[in-house]
Structure 1
Amino acid sequence: MCEYCKPEIRSDQNIILENEHCMFLQLNEQDIEGSGIIVPRQHRETVFDLTQDEWNATYQLLQEVKSYMDERYQPDGYNVGWNCGEIGGQHVFHAHMHVLPRYADEPMAGKGIRYLFKSKENRRKTKGKLT
């Protein structure tokens, strides 16, 4: 059973905000203060499977989530993103948008989503050359 289709199956997961097509979930124990995910109510494996109505509802809920986070956590910035597929870092195969508030006093402040991917260690070898 999918933990995002049925968020109540995890006692540490809370629905904070919701609309007709999606929910904003937070865990009681979070790695990043205030972080959470927006998930469609219907099971969709990746962001590429969302309907137009789900896209629109996700956008609407994202605006509400930002207002909620601004008021409750006062972050200094945000990272927002989707992981798609196993190689893309997706671990639960129900589409979910990460909404990560960022704070100036974090050790990784100023490092965005692409920071890890830009490293020389992550470059692919193609035809014997680094690209």
Structure 2
Amino acid sequence: MDFDPNCVFCQKQSSDFVIEGDLCVAFWDIHPVSKGHLLIVPKRHVAQIWDATASEKKELGQMAEDAKKLLDKQFKPDGYNVSINSGAAAGQSVFHCHIHLIPRYWNKVTKGVGAVPGQFLVPKQRPEFK
């Protein structure tokens, strides 16, 4: 498998993994936007989602679903942001393809300004549904 010795995601060890598949892994973001913020990445070093194989993309999607179930059980969030930044102009800062799975909670303060569009458009309180 491709490996980049200068890539922080390629340096991750199995002890860091929350979920591990044949082609992809999930681990906690070291600068989480909220409690439970996970990154889902191919094991093989690929810079952007467009460089991933069809099999890697399939497993990334399945792992996102599996990770959501884990986060639902462990943290019980009220919603999620799912984001892939592809290229520097789109906010990608680590050039190893990754999906951000960010749990969202009503009435919780978000940490810092992240690279997820619209993250601060979440209403302060739960809206009333009729």
Picking from 12, 17, 29, the partner of 1:7 is: 12
| Per-residue deviation, residues 33-68 of structure 1 (Å, max 9, x unmatched) | 000100000011001111000011111111110110
Distance 2:72 2:57 in 1: 22
- Give the TM-score taking structure 1 as reference length: 0.75
Picking from 89, 92, 104, the partner of 2:91 is: 89
Runs of 4+ in 1 over 2 A off after TM superposition: 27-31, 113-116
Q: Which runs of 5+ in 1 are unaligned?
A: 119-131
Picking from 54, 57, 63, the partner of 1:55 is: 57
- Give the TM-score taking structure 2 as reference length: 0.76
- Cα gap change, 1:28 to 1:4, in 2 (>3 Å): closer
Native 8 Å contact 1:17 1:24 kept in 2 = yes
Structure 1 residues 17-36: aligned runs within 5 Å: 17-27=19-29, 30-36=32-38
- Cα gap change, 1:27 to 1:75, in 2 (>3 Å): same
- The CA RMSD measured in Å over matched residues stands at 2.1
Distance 1:47 1:29 in 2: 21
Higher relative contact order (CA closer than 8 Å, sequence separation 6+):
2
Picking from 76, 82, 93, the partner of 2:78 is: 76
**Identity among equivalent pairs (%):** 30
Native 8 Å contact 2:33 2:102 kept in 1 = no
Native 8 Å contact 1:14 1:27 kept in 2 = no
Structure with bigger gyration radius? 1
**Structure 1 partner of 2:118:** 115
- State the shift of 1:114 in Å: 3.7
Distance 1:32 1:38 in 2: 16
Q: Count residues in correspondence.
A: 109
- State the shift of 1:32 in Å: 1.1
> Which one has the bigger strand percentage?
1
Native 8 Å contact 1:14 1:28 kept in 2 = no
SS at structure 2 position matched to 1:87: helix
